[in-house]
Structure 1
Amino acid sequence: MRILILGGTGFIGPHQVRYALSRGHQVTIFNRGRQKEAWPGPVEELLGDRNTGDLKSLEGREWDVCIDNPTTLPFWVRDAAKVLKGKVGHYLFVSTISVYDRNDRPADETAPLAAYEGADPMAETAQTLAKSLALYGPLKAVSEAEARRQFGEAATTIVRPGLIVGPGDETDRFSYWPVRLANPGARWGAEVAAPGDGADPVQFIDARDLAEWIVRMAEQRTPGAFNATGPARPMTTRTFLDGVASGVNAAPKLAWIPTAFLEAQKVNAWSDMPVWIPGQGETFGFHRRSIARALKAGLTYRPLPVTAADTLAWFRTLPAERQAKLRSGLTPEREAALLAAWKAAAKG
């Protein structure tokens, strides 16, 4: 097929490109040209900027499928459709699991989406989104609706990934754990602070599994919305950390710290304790999203230990100054203080 990938040089894009090439497809990527990649085959790169509406390089061309990776703003979909409508056979939009309006119960793709309550979603920009992350889910929901409106229900696929992890993740929202568990007694102490009681659920997906499945969905031109997270079977935080430890050949001493104590110490889920979200209350359903539709549509997963090992190997290729400052998780000093406070509280 002739595949157009909007983006192509971010997190999942390079995996899509390489997988599509391995399956014999012709690949064109469209982006601002700021990140260069070494591809294993011919890749056409078209330059432009969706923020400024510069889509001229897409004009007068046709593709079988368009994969839209980076869109967070509805006007990006609208403007792309002005050039691509009638020129692509199928449009695959990468949305987010955060598109739903509530997270307090398990739900599938039919659950209500977050409502945009501003004046004009098409007037929202990267600057306004940066000022209010609460707009992220609602604007993705509007973008989904715009994709369907422009390209039609039968020719539109909506993919809603959960937490995307693996080699190349610059957020460290997963990388923290392989790095932390592989380094007891080095930068950190021998004991590892772990969130909750180990029974909370976790969901995530390796970027390579997501990217490859998206290409297969593009080949099949399967319409509809799909929650794209994993693993295939429910996983607890304890099993998750065991899997990471196995992948990095570690035998960590975990100190499970109750959710209430973490909250009292202002240790935040997701950022200070990556991957983890409390499995109770208003976030009960966040890591319990149904993935039955994606599994039926062929989504498959690498074993967690493989993802952990590959992520650690990638992380260790980064410059020393980058490795020295993780972008998520607890610093060694803060973890030590947290553990000391928990031990003191436990003694009474």
Structure 2
Amino acid sequence: MDLLVLGGTEFVGRAVVKAALERGWKVTVFHRGRHAAPEGARVLTGDRTGGAAGLTALDEGRWDAVVDTWSAAPGAVRDTARMLHGRTGAYAYVSSRSVYGYPTPAPLDESAPVVGADGEDYAAVKRGGEVAAQRVYGDRALLVRAGLILGPDENVGRLPWWLGRIARGGEVLAPGPWELPLQYIDARDLAGWTLDAVAAGLGGAYNVVSPPGHTTMGELLEECVRATGSDAVLRWAPPEVVLGAGIEPWTQLPVWMPPGEDHETMHGGDVGKALGAGLVCRPVRDTVADTWSWLSSLTSPPPHRPDRPPVGLPPELEREALAALGAA
């Protein structure tokens, strides 16, 4: 196939480009030129925030499919979808499970209510991108509603933070319970499924994330210890100890949410539709080990998206929580 990737130089987009090249597909990457595209891709540059003037590099050309990873104002999706209509067979928009209304009890499938598309928060702009793609491509628009995304090239910092912290060793605050189920998708599995889906001509919305309980908080952190070869000792703390120390779930302790409504919404999604369409999720051990190998290969700090706040637990907060745990 002849594929156009809008983005394609960081994390998910990069995984899509690499996977397509490995299949022997022809790949064109359209981006702002801030990061190098994977070797083997044809590169076009432009700025989607600049309206029609920023899209002139796309004035000519035909592609079998487009994969769009845009996550800002949906007008960029609207403009490129309109411009490419009639010159591409399929349009896949990498969206998010954040588009569902909150709270939505598990199991949350694709029929659940979604948020409005008029706001400026992450959920609204992702929903706006979906609407923009559907207005142009109708039922042929593939809406890839990803959940938590991990894996090599991560530029948000969640799994890299845990790996870095555990690599330093010593007592590590491990937010429990150990058996807390997690639902995520390796960026490479997301990429592979998306390419299979556009090749098969699929359209509509799909929750693309691992089945609930694909791994647990305990297994994830133990695999971090294994991958790094660290002497770290995981000190498992009940949620009330973590929260009582004033620690913020998800941001200061990446990935983790205590049991309850937030956790059910994030980690209780129904993925039967994607599984039925061929989704396969690799073991957490592979995701963790490959992410550590990637981090270890870097000669500079890992990438971080400028539109996302830093994640991680300040050392002083960790010490206070560990002290409280020891006194409990």
Match of 1:258 in 2: 238
Contact 2:46 2:56 in 1 (8 A): yes
Q: Deviations over 1:125-181 (max 9, x none)?
A: xxxx5xxxxx1102211221221111111x111101111111111222112222333
Contact 2:295 2:302 in 1 (8 A): no
SS at match of 2:18: helix
* Residue identity opposite 1:48 in structure 2: G
* Residue identity opposite 1:44 in structure 2: R
**What is the correspondence of 1:1-348 to structure 2 with a 5 Å cutoff?**
1-39=1-39, 41=40, 43-53=41-51, 54-106=54-106, 107-116=108-117, 118=119, 129=120, 135-153=121-139, 155-184=140-169, 190-230=170-210, 233-250=213-230, 252-319=232-299, 327-344=310-327, 346=328
Q: Deviations over 1:24-65 (max 9, x none)?
A: 2111111111111351x3x22111111111111111321110
Contact 1:177 1:244 in 2 (8 A): yes
Contact 1:244 1:304 in 2 (8 A): no
Could you tell me the percent identity over the aligned residues? Answer: 37
Q: Deviations over 1:95-140 (max 9, x none)?
A: 012111114511111111112455xxxxxxxxxx5xxxxx110221
Structure 1, unaligned runs of 5 or more = 119-128, 130-134, 185-189
SS at match of 1:174: helix
Match of 1:125 in 2: none
The Cα of 1:233 is off from its aligned counterpart by 4.8
Contact 1:205 1:229 in 2 (8 A): yes
Contact 2:2 2:63 in 1 (8 A): yes
Distance 1:234 1:105, change over 3 A: farther
Cα separation, 2, equivalents of 1:249 and 1:300: 28
Match of 1:124 in 2: none
Cα separation, 2, equivalents of 1:199 and 1:80: 44
Contact 2:71 2:125 in 1 (8 A): no
The Cα of 1:317 is off from its aligned counterpart by 2.9
TM-score (norm 2): 0.90
* Residue identity opposite 2:73 in structure 1: L
Q: Deviations over 1:57-107 (max 9, x none)?
A: 111321110111124322112111231111111100000121111145111
TM-score (norm 1): 0.85
Matched residues, number: 320
Match of 1:122 in 2: none
* Residue identity opposite 1:309 in structure 2: A
Cα separation, 2, equivalents of 1:104 and 1:331: 32
Cα separation, 2, equivalents of 1:32 and 1:281: 39
Contact 2:101 2:113 in 1 (8 A): yes
The Cα of 1:234 is off from its aligned counterpart by 3.9
Cα separation, 2, equivalents of 1:276 and 1:202: 8
Cα separation, 1, equivalents of 2:259 and 2:215: 12
* Residue identity opposite 1:152 in structure 2: G
Structure 2, unaligned runs of 5 or more = 304-308
* Residue identity opposite 1:161 in structure 2: A
Contact 1:29 1:46 in 2 (8 A): yes
The Cα of 1:303 is off from its aligned counterpart by 1.8
SS at match of 2:253: coil
